[in-house]
Amino acid sequence: MARIFTVTLAIIIALLGLIFIWPAKVDPAYWEEPVAPTLTGILEPRGRLGLAEEIGRGIISNSEDIAIDPDGNIYASQTNGSISKLTSDNGVWSAETMAQVSEYPALGLQWDNQGNLIVAASDGLYAVNIASGEVETLSTSVNGRAFGFADDLDIGPDGIIYFTDASWKWPNAVGEPSYQYDMAENRPYGSLLSFDPRSGETRSLVEDLYFANGVAMAADGRSVFFLETYRYRLSRYWIEGPQAGTMEIIDDNLPGIPDGLMGDGQGNLYIAMDTQRVPILRFLHQNPFLTRLITKLPESIWLRAGTPQGFILKMTEGGEYLDSYHDPDGRFGFIANVIPDQNGDLWIGSLDEDVIGRFSPPQ
């Protein structure tokens, strides 16, 4: 028995030694992450997304972003780089592939003034003619640097497209846990960019962002809002006026892990929270040495996100919280985006579930 114990202990020590000297994939930075806001009052998880309708369950892979055309047809971006169109026949939903945009995941969607569907796929910005399925490549780089993780977008009144590149260091690909590596490394590899269809110019507006994500135009079109997922931060970039070309932070301690962002044109913003704030992330951010060791383990061991507790946060453009809608049973998984429509309904996109949600908030 003593011999077995000795051999076992020696193996464990050898494995720990190997893990210690094995080169790490990431170089984590220290961050004194603030304590998350308490989910009380407006933020209380009352579970109202339990009333949301499920659409298209099982006929799509996911719904990272959603776009709705004037006829009520729904389009969802897919992880295989395609765009699916969902239509209803007496309440029975079906899906068809309208375009294969890229070999990499299709993420952000938005209609332009010509009726084209503009798509941010991980490797570029594309325009899709839905009628013909023709795909035009608009941009794949900025200042000679290829996009690694083109993510979300919105379009200004003048047609200029504002979008994010979440991480040039950790490019996104099917089956690659790149966003988790970006999360673990905790360094600013993201950008807010713009593309002018008239000139074909791609410009970098803000660099050194921490996983730049959701994008939404302000109601007056004079500024654009954007999110940094792993800083739990909402900021505004001014396009016009005396502050043009500058950035201001609106909220740098959001109550969840933010992903998608959309405005309703009335001065309100909707933030899709993948899930509530996770204590383990605070631990990782405050312990870079241990994070470096943990990320040496097989990905199947340390990349465990846990049960999603996604929700939608409604707030003013000035940063005042107005309401929150929580998913009590995780039907919509990690909530990736939320799209308010003209009828006041909210369409819910999911990062990992094969479904779209439709929710009518209480008036």
pLDDT tens-digit series, residues 152-196: 999 999 999 999 999 999 988 766 668 888 998 999 999 999 999
Within a domain: residue 294?
yes
pLDDT at residue 16 greater than cutoff 50: no
Instruction: Give Cα 346 to chain centroid, integer Å.
Output: 17
**pLDDT at residue 22 above 80?**
no
Whether 31 is covered by a domain: the verdict is no
pLDDT of residue 90: 86
The whole-number pLDDT of residue 307 equals 82
The pLDDT of residue 298 is 75
What is the arithmetic mean of pLDDT over 65-80? 93
Geometric angle at alpha carbon 205, from 200 and 210, rounded to 5° = 125
Q: Which two tokens stand for residue 214?
A: 């959701």
> How many structural domains are present in the chain?
1
**Domain span holding position 130:** 39-359
- DSSP 8-class letter at 36: P
Q: What is the CATH number of the domain that holds 329?
A: 2.120.10.30
- Helix%, strand%, coil% for the chain, nearest 5: 15, 40, 45
22 domain-assigned = no
Domain contains 16: no
In a domain, 106, yes or no: yes
Banded model confidence at residue 14, pLDDT cuts 50, 70, 90: very low
Q: Is residue 82 part of a domain?
A: yes
Q: Is the pLDDT of residue 222 over 70?
A: yes
Tell me the residue type at 31.
W
> In this predicted structure, what is the pLDDT of residue 164?
98
Q: Quote the CA–CA distance of 273 and 255 in Å, as a whole number.
A: 9
pLDDT value of position 56: 92
Q: Does 64 score more than 90 pLDDT?
A: yes
Q: Give the strand pairing for 135-139 and 141-142.
A: unpaired
Percent of the chain with pLDDT over 70: 90
How confident is the model over 293-321, as pLDDT tens digits?
Answer: 888 777 766 666 568 999 999 999 999 99
Instruction: Read off the pLDDT of residues 323-360 as tens digits, 9 standing for 90 and up.
Output: 999 999 999 999 999 999 989 999 999 999 999 999 99
Residue 163 lies in a domain: yes
Within-domain flag for 12: no
User: How confident is the prediction for the chain on average, in pLDDT?
Assistant: 91
